[in-house]
Amino acid sequence: MRIFSGIQPTGQKHLGNYIGAIVQYVEGQQRAADAGDVAIFCVVDLHAMTVPWEPDEMRARVYDTAAILLAAGLDPDRCIFIRQSDVHEHTELAWHLGAVTAHGDLNRMHQFKEKSARQRDLVSADLFFYPVLMAADVLAYRANEVPVGDDQRQHVELMRDVAQRFNDRFGEQLVVPELKIPSVGARIMDLQDPTSKMSTTGGSVEGTVYVLDDAKTVEKKFKRAVTDSEDPPRIARDPSKPGVSNLIDILAAARGITPEQVEESLADARGYGDLKIATADAVNALLEPVRERYSALRADEDALEAIFAAGAEKARAITSETLRDVRAATGVGPRT
């Protein structure tokens, strides 16, 4: 059971990233080790180049993200923790995979459509090619499972198709991985616009809870969360109640219980205020230990670089084998 997932170093990580992905990483690191295999987690700096970025800030954002992941519980002795650009096989494999990826499939990607529509200047070829590099990230490790939030479903489906097409053409070289999305919290919504997902680039600051927000800010954001005007207020998950449903999901994920248990526990609540306060408290309890550990980890950039260097070495032991096989199968490079 080999697990791979990547996370972008763009901006600050938010509660959607935390519940949708990071919680799964920490659980996956243990599960892979228990199965005698390994989980690989990657800060994907090359993916961050697909939208406008500041070169002076890129490294700092990578360190921010790395420190959050380590503070959340990733342990470089129990998983492989890397920076994407340190392992060149990712980009080489992307080129091989591009040869079996249909241009029309990339054109259908929701994320490309949304992000290209938002670009004011250049819509880069890298933004279009993003799903191929993401496929290479995973397939280079022959990973079995990809833990992600619901917004990445389409990219993982494409990755599976690409792996299958590569194997059909060149023989069984790659593993077709399975998507793994959490049963609760796969799509955390913006607190101010609960019909849109909580997002780094698309949302509002008031509607986005950042992992590093202090406790008071988190409480304020939840108190101002948009709900609905049903009278009397009803704390239940319902498609017509996106704001309330989102708070129930967040509370369930933060406490590690089911949404039904949340509904039961708040059956006697006087109104949405009780739900908002309970959710803010649970989120603060979840994030407080991460915030506490973060500062010391972030302060030591040399230590973070050393962790990346050690991770890249372990990663290359796997990816160099995959690329050796892929090059042999595609007929590229010297005789083996």
Can residue 28 be called a binding residue for ligand AQP (CB under 6 A)?
Answer: no
In sequence order, which residues have a C-beta less than 8 Å from that of residue 161 and are 6 or more positions away? Answer: 105
Token code pair at residue 74: 């990733």
Task: Encode 149-203 in three state secondary structure.
Answer: CHHHHHHHHHHHHHHHHHHHHHCCCCCCCEEECCCCCCCCECCCCCCCECCCCCC
Can residue 295 be called a binding residue for ligand AQP (CB under 6 A)?
Answer: no
- In sequence order, the β-bridge partners of residue 5 are 41
Which one of residues 17, 29, 245, 246 is an interface residue with ligand AQP (CB under 6 A)? 17
Please identify, using beta-carbon distances, which residue of 16 and 311 lies nearer to ligand AQP: 16
- Tell whether omega for the bond before 232 is within 30 degrees of 0, i.e. cis: yes
Can residue 196 be called a binding residue for ligand AQP (CB under 6 A)?
Answer: no
Can residue 305 be called a binding residue for ligand AQP (CB under 6 A)?
Answer: no
Which one of residues 2, 20, 72, 263 is an interface residue with ligand AQP (CB under 6 A)? 20
Can residue 98 be called a binding residue for ligand AQP (CB under 6 A)?
Answer: no
Which one of residues 202, 206, 303, 330 is an interface residue with ligand AQP (CB under 6 A)? 202
Which one of residues 197, 221, 255, 298 is an interface residue with ligand AQP (CB under 6 A)? 197
Please identify, using beta-carbon distances, which residue of 69 and 326 lies nearer to ligand AQP: 69
CA distance 76 to 85: 18
In sequence order, which residues have a C-beta less than 8 Å from that of residue 56 and are 6 or more positions away? Answer: none
CB of 140 closer than 8 Å to CB of 319: yes
CB of 208 to ligand AQP, least distance (A): 8
* DSSP sequence for 222-288: HHT------SS------TT-HHHHHHHHHHHHHHTS-HHHHHHHTTT-SSHHHHHHHHHHHHHHHHH
The piece of 5-13, 30-38, 84-92, 136-144 that touches ligand AQP (CB under 6 A) is 5-13
Can residue 199 be called a binding residue for ligand AQP (CB under 6 A)?
Answer: yes
Can residue 195 be called a binding residue for ligand AQP (CB under 6 A)?
Answer: no
Can residue 279 be called a binding residue for ligand AQP (CB under 6 A)?
Answer: no
Please identify, using beta-carbon distances, which residue of 23 and 315 lies nearer to ligand AQP: 23
Q: In the complex, which residues of this chain contact ligand AQP (CB under 6 A)?
A: 7-8, 10, 16-17, 20-21, 148-149, 151-152, 186-188, 197-202
